[in-house]
C-alpha cells in the first residue's frame, strides 16, 4: 500500500485523531508545502486560474483594508486565516494534476475507503455521546494542543478549532435542545461534514444499493442530530438531482410530472411544514437576515468594488458577513471578488460536464449545484476546515475522472 502514504490520503485517514489532538487549526496548511511542486510545470485549467485570480483579489482587499480602513487587528488575523483556507483549497486542487494514470484508481479507492471509515467513526462517537452525554447542551473538552497555547487570546475561529465541541445548546420550536457538533467547530459544519463523507463513501456505489442506503441512513441520523435545516435540505436536493440526472428522458419527464403533482397535492401540508422549519429557530433566521442587510450596507458605504477585507464584529454573536459565502465574499472582496468566485463556480460546472461517466458526472454535478446554491448562500466555506478540505478534494476528484477518460482516448 505504498500509495497510502500520499499526504491527502493521510489527512483523510487520520482526521479523527487530528481532531482529537486539536491539530485541525493548522494541519491542512501543510498541503501547501506537500503540493508546492504541483504548480510548476503544469498548465492550470480555467477554473484553477479563476480561483487563483479570486485569491489574489481577496489578498489585495485585505492589504488595502489594513492600509486604509484599519479595523481591529484581531479581525485581520481571522481574515488572513480564512484566506489561507482558500489557498489550501487551491493547492489541493492543483495537486491532482500530478497524478499518473497508474495511481488514479488506487488513490480513489483509498480516499473513498477512509471517507467511509470516518463516517462510521463519526456515527460511533455520536452513539457514545447519545448514551453518556445526550442531555449536556454545551459539552466541550480542551484538546491536547490547547494546553500548550494561550488559546483564549487567539481569534474565535482558531480558539474554537482547538476545542473539542461535542454539542451546543439552542432553541427548537420554543424548547431548549441539544445540537451535536462532532468533528467540527459548530453544528451545521458537523452536518455538512456528514453529508460530504456520505458523498465520497457512495461515489462509486450503485444508486440506492444496500450499501448506499445503509450509509444514507447513518449520515441522515448524524445530520438530524445537529438540528441544522440547510444540510438536510442539501442531502434531499442532492438525492433528487442525482435521480434526475441519471434517469433517461422519458423517466425524467415522468419524474418531473409526478414531482409537480406531489408538490401541488401536498401544498396545504407544506405550508405548515415550512412554517415549522422557519419558525422552529426563528431567532436564528432573523439574525441571519439582519446580518445580511447590515453587511450589504457597510460594504456599499465603504468600498463596493474591492470590499473591506474583513468581517467586522458588532454586538451580535457572529461577525458581519457570516452565514453566507457569497455575502461574506462581497463584504471582504467586493464586486470583483464575487465576480471571480462566480467565474470559478461556472467554469468548474462546465468542466464537470466533460466527465463521460454518466453516473459519476451526475454525482459531481449534483454536489456542486447544491453547494454553490444552498451552502454558499447560507454558510461559510472558509471557516469549517474539514468541510473545506473535503469540498476541494471533491473538485480535485473531477480531475481524476476526466484524466482517466483523456488517457483512455
Predicted confidence (pLDDT) per residue in 41-57, tens digit: 678 889 999 999 999 99
Confidence band of 19 (pLDDT split at 50, 70, 90)? very high
User: Which residue, 219, 229, 239, 225, is CA-closest to 276?
Assistant: 229
pLDDT exceeds cutoff 50 at 83 = yes
pLDDT for res 273 = 47
> SS in 3 state form for the chain?
CHHHHCHHHHHHHCHHHHHHHCCHHHHCCHHHHHCHHHCCCCCCCHHHHHHHHHHHHHHHHHHHHHHHCCCCHHHHHHHHHHHHHHHHHHHHHHHHHHCCHHHHHHHHHHHHHHHHHHHHHHHHHHHHHHHHCCCCCCCEEECCHHHHCCHHHCCHHHHHHCEEECEEEEEECCEEEEEECCCCCCHHHHHHHHHHHHHHHCCCCCCCCHHHHHHHHHHHHHHHHCCCHHHHHHHHHHHHHHHHHHCCHHHHHHHHHHHHHHHHHHHHHHHHHHHHHHHHCHHHHHHHHHHHHHHHHHHHHHCCCCCCCCCCCCCCCCCCCCCCHHHHHHHHHHHHHHHHHHHHHHHHHHHHCCCCCHHHHHHHHHHHHHHHHHHHHHCCCCCCHHHHHHHHHHHHHHHHHHHHHHHHC
Asked whether the beta carbons of 380 and 320 are under 8 A apart, the reply is no
pLDDT for res 2 = 46
Percent of the chain with pLDDT over 90: 54
Cβ-count burial 231-243 (b if 16+ within 10 Å, e if not): bbbbbeebeebbb
pLDDT for res 184 = 92
Q: What is the pTM of this model?
A: 0.91
Q: Which of 173-187, 228-242, 318-332 has the least mean pLDDT?
A: 173-187
- Give the residue-averaged pLDDT of 200-205: 96
- Give the mean pLDDT of the chain: 86
| Phi (first) and psi of residue 173, to 5 degrees | 55, 40
- Give the residue-averaged pLDDT of 307-319: 85
Cα 39 to Cα 44, 92, 326: the distances in Å are 8, 11, 27
Grid cell for residue 83? 484566506
pLDDT exceeds cutoff 70 at 4 = no
371 or 259: whose pLDDT is higher? 371
pLDDT for res 198 = 98
pLDDT for res 372 = 94
pLDDT for res 3 = 47
Q: Which of 77-81, 168-172, 210-214, 356-360 has the least mean pLDDT?
A: 168-172
239 or 136: whose pLDDT is higher? 239
- Give the residue-averaged pLDDT of 322-348: 95
263 or 184: whose pLDDT is higher? 184
Confidence band of 265 (pLDDT split at 50, 70, 90)? low
Q: Where are the domains of the chain?
A: 2-408
- Give the residue-averaged pLDDT of 134-151: 80
Amino acid at each position: 500500500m505504498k500509495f497510502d502514504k500520499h499526504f491527502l490520503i493521510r489527512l483523510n485517514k487520520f482526521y479523527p485523531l487530528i481532531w482529537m489532538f486539536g491539530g485541525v487549526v493548522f494541519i491542512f496548511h501543510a498541503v501547501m508545502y506537500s503540493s508546492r511542486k504541483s504548480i510548476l510545470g503544469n498548465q492550470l485549467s480555467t477554473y484553477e486560474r479563476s480561483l487563483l485570480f479570486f485569491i489574489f483579489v481577496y489578498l489585495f482587499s485585505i492589504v488595502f483594508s489594513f492600509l486604509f480602513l484599519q479595523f481591529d487587528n484581531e479581525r485581520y488575523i481571522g481574515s488572513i486565516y480564512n484566506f489561507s483556507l482558500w489557498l489550501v483549497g487551491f493547492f489541493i486542487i492543483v495537486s491532482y494534476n500530478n497524478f499518473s494514470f497508474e495511481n488514479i484508481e488506487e488513490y480513489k479507492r483509498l480516499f473513498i475507503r477512509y471517507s467511509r471509515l470516518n463516517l462510521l467513526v463519526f456515527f460511533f462517537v455520536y452513539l457514545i455521546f447519545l448514551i453518556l452525554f445526550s442531555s449536556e447542551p454545551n459539552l466541550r473538552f480542551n484538546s491536547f494542543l490547547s494546553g500548550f497555547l494561550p488559546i483564549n487570546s487567539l481569534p474565535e475561529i482558531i480558539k474554537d478549532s482547538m476545542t473539542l465541541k461535542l454539542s451546543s445548546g439552542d432553541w427548537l420550536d420554543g424548547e431548549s435542545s441539544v445540537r451535536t457538533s462532532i468533528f467540527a467547530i459548530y453544528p451545521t459544519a458537523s452536518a455538512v461534514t456528514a453529508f460530504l463523507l456520505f458523498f465520497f463513501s457512495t461515489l462509486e456505489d450503485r444508486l440506492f444499493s444496500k450499501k448506499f442506503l445503509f450509509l444514507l441512513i447513518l449520515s441522515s441520523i448524524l445530520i438530524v442530530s445537529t438540528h441544522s435545516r440547510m444540510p438536510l435540505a442539501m442531502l434531499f436536493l442532492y438525492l433528487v438531482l442525482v435521480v434526475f440526472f441519471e434517469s433517461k428522458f422519458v423517466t425524467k419527464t415522468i419524474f418531473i410530472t409526478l414531482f409537480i403533482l406531489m408538490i401541488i397535492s401536498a401544498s396545504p401540508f407544506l405550508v405548515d411544514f415550512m412554517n415549522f422549519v422557519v419558525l422552529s429557530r426563528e431567532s436564528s433566521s432573523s439574525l441571519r437576515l439582519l446580518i445580511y442587510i447590515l453587511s450589504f450596507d457597510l460594504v456599499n458605504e465603504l468600498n463596493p468594488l474591492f470590499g473591506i477585507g474583513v468581517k467586522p464584529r458588532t454586538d451580535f454573536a457572529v461577525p458581519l458577513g457570516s452565514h453566507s459565502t457569497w455575502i461574506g465574499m462581497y463584504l471582504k472582496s467586493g464586486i470583483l471578488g464575487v465576480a471571480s468566485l462566480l467565474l470559478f463556480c461556472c467554469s468548474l460546472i462546465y468542466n464537470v460536464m466533460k466527465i463521460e461517466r454518466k453516473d459519476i458526472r451526475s454525482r459531481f454535478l449534483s454536489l456542486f449545484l447544491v453547494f454553490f446554491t444552498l451552502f454558499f448562500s447560507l454558510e461559510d466555506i472558509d471557516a469549517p476546515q474539514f468541510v473545506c478540505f473535503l469540498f476541494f478534494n471533491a473538485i480535485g476528484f473531477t480531475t481524476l475522472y476526466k484524466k482517466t477518460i483523456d488517457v483512455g482516448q
